[in-house]
Every structure is written in structure tokens, then in C-alpha cells.
Amino acid sequence: MLMPMPHQNPLLADWTTPFSLPPFDRIRAADFEPAFAAAMQAQRAEVEAIAAQSDAADFANTVAAFDRSGRLLARIDAAFQALAASHTSPEIQAVQRELAGPLAAHESAVMMHAGLFARVDAVHRERHALGLDAESLRLVERLHLDFVRAGAQLGPDKQPRYAAIMAQLAQLTTRFAQNVLADEAGFQLELTGADLDGLPPFVLAAARQAASERGLPAGSHVLTLSRSLIVPFLTFSTRRELRELAWKAWVGRGENAGETDNREVARDILRLRQEQAWLHGHASYADYALANTMAGNVASVNTLLDDVYARALEALQGERTAVHESLRAAGVAAPFMAWDWRFGAERVRQARYAFDDGAVKPYFSLERMVQAAFDCAQRLFGIRMVRNDAIPVYHPDVVAYEVHDAAAPGGIIGIFLHDNFARQTKRSGAWMSALRWQCRNGGVDLPVIMNNNNFAKGAPGEPTLLSFDDARTLFHEFGHGLHGLLSNVTFQRLSGTNVLRDFVELPSQLFEHWLLEPEVIARHARHWKTGAPIPEALVRRLQDARRWGQAYETVRYAGSALVDMAVHSRIDKEPPPDLAEFEAATLARLNLPPEVGVNHRLLHFQHLFSGASYAAGYYVYLWAEVLDADAFDAFREAGDAFDPALAARLRQCIYGAGDSVAPQQAYAAFRGRMPSIEPLLRKRGLLAEDVSY
């Protein structure tokens, strides 16, 4: 009789895979709990050792040493987060719920460790007398602030409560995210016969693919809440009652009674955030959150949002009249509703610009757009993406690349994993994440960077065709990816996208600009079947048509950002009794036309409630857009979208610098001056050309 081999925990063993990626094929959900426990213990031991040194605190024995601590925990957590976000299972979700509290408690214990903080504080006090280089000085300042913001200075009477708040928040935000995912995965609407009226071939193909992934008979069509299916459905379906049904399911995520109801979860999060802010001496959570941003305070965020919102609302009047006319002409009875707008807007677009997304899609296959993004990166930064199928991945759809840079020592600067397709086990949206950050503190670590998108996969044997917006998302996330891959810093805390959060969208949004370059479109937008380049007239119509609907997008986005600011700058102890009502009242006060709707409703607003990183922070896209619009103008002024000298400076000051330089300083070093808002207003069509500001 054979004895079963004891299962060695692969998370704790050395990773002997290519480039030391997680050995995904051997990792089981049950491995995580013991591995996390061991890794937390290991970091506790590292921290105790730093704190217990008899030598006086200095940069090397305290600050640099702390930057090296917790690496085992970080690599296990990164592997876990990758699975939880992109290929989850009930087992992974259970681990996520069970560990959210203990992980937050561990984090608090480290950041409130009195002996450790006393040493960090001592180095911080002496920092200007230590002869530190600029990056080391920056690390001392950032790290010290991390400790303070995590409660290190609160005093022993308040710290236990603060730690309890953080643990509860971790559990609640986990639940919030899982509830949204459950509501998304739980919805499917089979479409038969006349239900398909108005849908162009690419929507039908995506609906067939979604049906086959859900095990329905060949030839069936299913509507899901995947963005790349629901948005075109709302745009093209001529069946108003189905649009209504789909819209309500989409915007109702998180608001359904029962197990997945987020109404109380979100209120509990808000109540705890208020208490967290008060413990720090701030009047509101927004005050606390914004203290560590470029914007710096609520007033400067609201000034930008109010200005852009007001201009967009004015510009919306023209769009609204046209959409209403078009809906009336299509026989849609007033009052017009939120599920009618896209349908009406698309008819205006087709009438005015003879343009529809369906005509463009054959030229924007996923494969070609990936090549386009890679080609732009190569022309700007001299890097080459080389596919390597020997690199372990967690799902067969993920494609792994080595990132080659002839100028770098060793020739390879990182690994990139591209996970482009929607699946039921993946959360919605698009994002960049890291399995490992670049750094040179404690050996040379090559970054391992991931991009996730949620494109509806083409049927077997057929290509995946992107809308222009999908292609933009692809470029956007790859811009974040480059921020991680091109990082060239010493300390992990300052690496890649670990920058101030209203700076983090600059590299991503800036990279989108290259997709719009006529030269890039001419080179890469080719018909998937024939290889024929996209007709110039179609490109022109695409660009004209893109200007249509800008006010709608801006109003929806800024409306969401203003709701975020409103809900997080309240100073009352108790959150609003009904968040849906609070949202409606806020939008009414903003005069947002009800048939416009917003990007995200509070009860499924993952940016705000799946974690803290975008809470009182949805504005960051607009803040960064001021920068990206102004930054790309530098290439315009140079007369070459790939100007080598500018690109080199861009790599050095922005994409490579991480948080090693303060953002204002990094930007000024690239641009030679601080940004102006005018390029943003022009880009969004909000600047009357005859008015100067």
C-alpha cells in the first residue's frame, strides 16, 4: 500500500520556475492559509529584529532594512490577489473572507510597532543631516508618512480601536467586491428571435460566445453584465423593454435584497471611515484621504470637478436635444430614460458621421492592437516584448512575455502577463497589478507586471474584435504596465505605480494618446481578414464621431466623482440612511438629467468600496488628465509623436521614476514647467476657441 506523499506547500518553497513566477499549477487554495500565517510570522520576526538592534537607528539598519522586510508575504499575497481577481473560486473567496481581518491586523501590528516606529521617527528627524541621496531621502519621508497615516502616532489608548477599524474595513470591502461579482455572475438573459433585433454581427457573436461559455446549446445567445456586451446591447437593441431590463440589472448590482446586498455593507464602511478620519484629527474621510495627494485637499479637487462639470453640463444641452430628437424620430415615447440615451446617441452618430462602431471593429482586432501597443512602446522606449510560453500562468488565456531592453544590464527588464478576456471567475473592469515590483534593495528584482482586461472573446476560430474604446482601455492598462516595467529605482516602496494616487493615471492616460496618432492607426489598424489598412475616410469619421458624446461622458464621469466627494466629505457620525437616495439627491442638486445616469452607482462602485485606494479618489482620472493632455502637447510641439529626446526624458522622469521623486518635481523635470488645464479642456471639447482662460 502506498502512503500519500505529504504535500509540500509550494507557496513557501523556493520558486524554481522561469523568472521565479508563482508555480500556479501546483498551488491549491488550501495552501494559502498556512502560507500566509508563516509569512506574517516571518515579517514579524524581521520587524522585531530591526527594532531590537542595539546600534542607533540609521538609514541602512532601519529604513532600507524595513523596505526589504515582508518579501515572502508580498509574493504570496500578490499570487493570491491575482487569483482572487482574475480566476477566483468559492475556495479562494472563502480564504479571502477569512484572511482579510488577520492580514489587516498584521499590517496594523507592523505599522504601529512602537520600537520600529521610534527608529523610523529618529531617522526622519535627522534626515537632512545624514547626507542621503535624493531617493533615500524621499524613502524616509514617504515611509514615515505611511507609518503616521497607519496610526503609528495615535498613542496606546487609540491604537487598538484603530486596528479594529482597519480589520473590519478589510472584511467589509472584501464582502462588497464579492457581492458585486456575485450579482454580475448571477445575471444572464437568454435572447431569442425578436430579442436580437437591431444587434449588429459583433454583438451577436459576443452573445453566442457568452452562451457557449455558460454551457448553452450551440447557436444560443446570452446577454451578460460584462461591459463589452451590455454597453453595445444598450446602444443597438431596438427592444426598449429589454434595454430597460438590462439597464436595471446592470445599475442594480449590489442593490438586490438577500445575500449579496451591499446597502448596509457600504454604510458600515462609511461609518468606519468617518471614525478613522476622526482618530487622525480630520473632519471627514475625504480630508484624511486627500492629505496624501497632489491635490492636497477637498477644495482643490472640488474646484477642478465643479469647473469641468459646469462646462460639460452646458455642452450637454446640444447633445441632449439631438438625442431627444433622434429618439422621437425612432418612435420612442417620452419621457426618455437612461436605457434610451445610448440608443439615441448612436443614431445621431450614424446620421451625422455615417459612422458606427461595428464598421471599425474589423480593423481593431485584439491581436493587432496588442501589437500596436507593443510597437509604440518599442518606438518610444526601445523595449521589445518577446512571448515565452514556458512562463507559468494561472489560466490558459494568459500570455506571458519577456521584456527585452538592449540597453539594460542582462538585456531583460521584466516580465509581462497579458490577461485580456472576460470570464465568470474574473472581476469586471480593467486593471494593472504586479506579482513582483522592480527594486535593487536586497538583490535585483525584475518586475512581473500583469494587465487584465474584460474583452468578450471571439468565437473559436474567429478573432476578438475590439471597439475603439476597448482598444483605448488596452493602451491605458499597458501604460500602467509600462510604469511598472520601466521602473528604475532602488527601493521597493518607491517602485512603479506606488506613487501618489492622483499621479498614477498619468502614465496610463498619456499612453492612450499614441493610439489616436494617425500614423499608428495607419500602421496597425488593419482588417483582421484581408490585412487591408483602415480607409482614411473611416479614420476621419472615427475621429469626428469621437467628438460627439464627449459632454455625455464628461458629465457622467464628473457626476460620479462629485458623488464620491459628497459621500466622503460628510462630517456626520452616521452615514446617510439610504445611499441610493443620497446619490439621487446629490445628482438632482447637480442638475444631472435623469436620462443621462452616472458611470457607477454607489452600491456597486468598486473604486470606492472594494478597498480604499480610490475612495474620495475617483477624481484622480481627471486630475491626471490635466497632466496627460498637457504632457502629450510636448510631443505635438516637437512635431513628432515619437521624438527621441522627449521620449527619453519621459522614460526617465515619469515612467521610470516611480515615487523616487515628488510628482510635481517629476512633471516639471519632464515638461520644463507646471501643467496648464487648457489642453484638457480642448481635448474634451470644453474650451470655446474664441474665449481665453
Binding footprint of Zn ion on the chain (CB under 5 A) = 505, 508
3-state helix, strand, coil split of the chain in percent (to 5) is 60, 5, 35
Q: Are 598 and 587 in contact (CB under 8 A)?
A: yes
CB of 476 to Zn ion, least distance (A): 6
- Which residue type sits at 29? A
CB of 505 to Zn ion, least distance (A): 5
Closer residue to Zn ion (CB): 548 or 655: 655
Closer residue to Zn ion (CB): 453 or 569: 453
455 contact partners, CB below 8 Å, separation of at least 6: 228, 366, 420, 421, 422, 464, 466, 470
193 contact partners, CB below 8 Å, separation of at least 6: none
Measured distance CA(686)–CA(99) in Å, rounded: 47
Respond yes or no on whether the N-terminal peptide bond of residue 463 is cis (omega within 30° of 0): no
Q: Are 422 and 231 in contact (CB under 8 A)?
A: no
Q: Which residues does the annotation mark as catalytic?
A: 477
CB of 498 to Zn ion, least distance (A): 14
Closer residue to Zn ion (CB): 287 or 625: 625
Which residue in 161, 266, 184 sits closest to 610, CA to CA? Answer: 266
Closer residue to Zn ion (CB): 284 or 508: 508
Q: Is the dihedral of CA 20, 22, 24, 30 positive or negative?
A: positive
Respond yes or no on whether the N-terminal peptide bond of residue 200 is cis (omega within 30° of 0): no
CB of 610 to Zn ion, least distance (A): 15
Closer residue to Zn ion (CB): 319 or 505: 505
Instruction: Name the residue with the smallest CB distance to Zn ion.
Output: 508
Per-residue cell: 435:
506579482
CB of 276 to Zn ion, least distance (A): 25
Measured distance CA(646)–CA(641) in Å, rounded: 9
Q: Which residues pair with 101 in a beta bridge?
A: none
Element of type H or E holding 608: helix 606-609
CB of 418 to Zn ion, least distance (A): 16
Per-residue cell: 390:
514556458
CB of 453 to Zn ion, least distance (A): 12
CB of 508 to Zn ion, least distance (A): 4
Closer residue to Zn ion (CB): 508 or 569: 508
Closer residue to Zn ion (CB): 504 or 567: 504
Measured distance CA(97)–CA(209) in Å, rounded: 32
Closer residue to Zn ion (CB): 323 or 504: 504
Q: Are 626 and 304 in contact (CB under 8 A)?
A: yes
Which residue in 99, 84, 106 sits closest to 27, CA to CA? Answer: 84
Residue 294's CB is within 10 A of a number of other CB atoms, namely: 20
Element of type H or E holding 178: helix 159-186
